[in-house]
Amino acid sequence: MSKCRFVFLLLLITLSPYHLITRLYAELKITPVANISLLGGQYFLEGEQDSFAGNADIFFAPVINFSESTALLPIYQGLYSGTKDVRELVGGGTLTREVLDNSLTLKLTHKFSDTFKGKIKAGYKLEYLAETKDEKLGDGLFDYNRLIGGIEGEKKYESWNLRSGYDFYIMSYPNYSSLITSYQTSIDTATYTEISENAGEDVLDYSTHELFVEGLHLFNETTTGKIMYDIAYKNFRDQTLVRSDGSFSSKKRNDLVHLLTLGVAKNLPKVTASIYNSFQYYDSNQNSYDANRTQYNSGYYDFIQDNVTPSLTFNLKNNSRLNLWWDIAYRKYINRPSQDEEGNYKTSEISQVTNTTGLSLTIPVYKSVSIKTAGSYRDSTSNNRYEANYRYNYNTSNYFAGLNWEY
């Protein structure tokens, strides 16, 4: 056999489908990662306790390594909360009673070199949210689904780790326009009028272009600093702008969100300490018209907010962990005027301070199973006394206990 024919046959064998599959299977490695928490507890709003309810949190990600440089991460996250909470929904704090989240994300990572790797991702999230006792999951006014795709690059230097990327996602609220004609829930007059007078069908639906850049700096073996800037452009394709006379223009709403985060973390053998500060500037061209009081409010959704979050995590005996954290947030609406209890407008703009403190204790009991307890207290105060639409002044607390499993 000639040398050329031998090389040709060798190439055929090497590149045959069976051989490729065999090589791929030989390098394929699957490493499952999972975390499941099943907790029960109670929630208190203004001192009034709710009935005992359960919470569940599931994270599952079988990491599929095709080779040393390429991996696929299918990530499933599920969350169920059967207790009350005050959540930021559409323009302000809204009381919720039950939440169910399901999301699936696929992330493909490839290591191009020892110092650079890239990622692409695609995902889908579905959230059901109930506000009242008689409202069933799946029928909520603020139920939404989100479709997301993105790309990211990560570069390592001697003492820096830099990440930057782009995300695009679409938010859709399938029940909003169909239910708004039946009852007016915790929304402002402008939003209700936009739908009831056919100012738009899907006024809450929007798409977002988001860019971010993050830098992690290693000061020494125990201290790490972080800086991150995120900018997002939100386009509401079916929400028209409110004019000063309460009518609607042909222009559509769009929002621009800036978020800057700075922080530092210190890792010691017995304790980890960190503090982060996030500054957000929310800029929207949407206005509001209060038909009951014939009051026009331009730039109704514009605000600035600053969050400071210190935390301590203690590493106790037998791998037990105690976490203590505190978050203080100051929000100032740039153009939204404050109101008294009857709804009369005042000359000052709305400001709000929210303090949240919490703790959690995790104690291993058998292999990967731990007992987990957690609790938090939140207090919100504002110069705005009118709360027919949103909650500005309230205090809440909760406690939970149950089991946590890690794999």
CATH assignment at residue 252 = 2.40.160
Please give the pLDDT value at position 35: 94
Contact yes or no for 84/99 (Cβ under 8 A): no
Please give the pLDDT value at position 111: 95
Please give the pLDDT value at position 194: 47
C-alpha–C-alpha distance, residues 141 and 202, integer Å: 12
- CA 81, distance to chain mean position in Å, is 15
User: Which positions ≥6 away from 300 have C-beta within 8 Å?
Assistant: 91, 188, 190, 284, 286, 287, 288, 335, 336
Contact yes or no for 87/93 (Cβ under 8 A): yes
In a domain, 52, yes or no: yes
**Among candidates 400, 401, 404, which has minimal Cα distance to 368?**
404
Extract the tokens encoding 114.
């020892």
The tens digit of pLDDT for each residue in 181-200 reads: 444 444 555 555 544 454 56
In a domain, 15, yes or no: no
Q: Positive or negative CA dihedral for 112, 118, 122, 125?
A: positive
Whole-prediction pTM: 0.84
User: What is the domain extent for residue 62?
Assistant: 30-406
Which residues of the chain fall below pLDDT 70? 1-27, 90-93, 177-200
**Among candidates 405, 404, 291, 402, which has minimal Cα distance to 54?**
402
In a domain, 370, yes or no: yes
C-alpha–C-alpha distance, residues 360 and 374, integer Å: 4
295-297 and 288-290 beta bridge pairing: antiparallel
- Residue 81 CB: number of other CB atoms within 10 A? 21
In a domain, 382, yes or no: yes
Contact yes or no for 277/308 (Cβ under 8 A): yes
- Report how many domains make up the chain: 1
Please give the pLDDT value at position 48: 77
In a domain, 70, yes or no: yes
In a domain, 18, yes or no: no
In a domain, 21, yes or no: no
C-alpha–C-alpha distance, residues 30 and 74, integer Å: 11
In a domain, 273, yes or no: yes
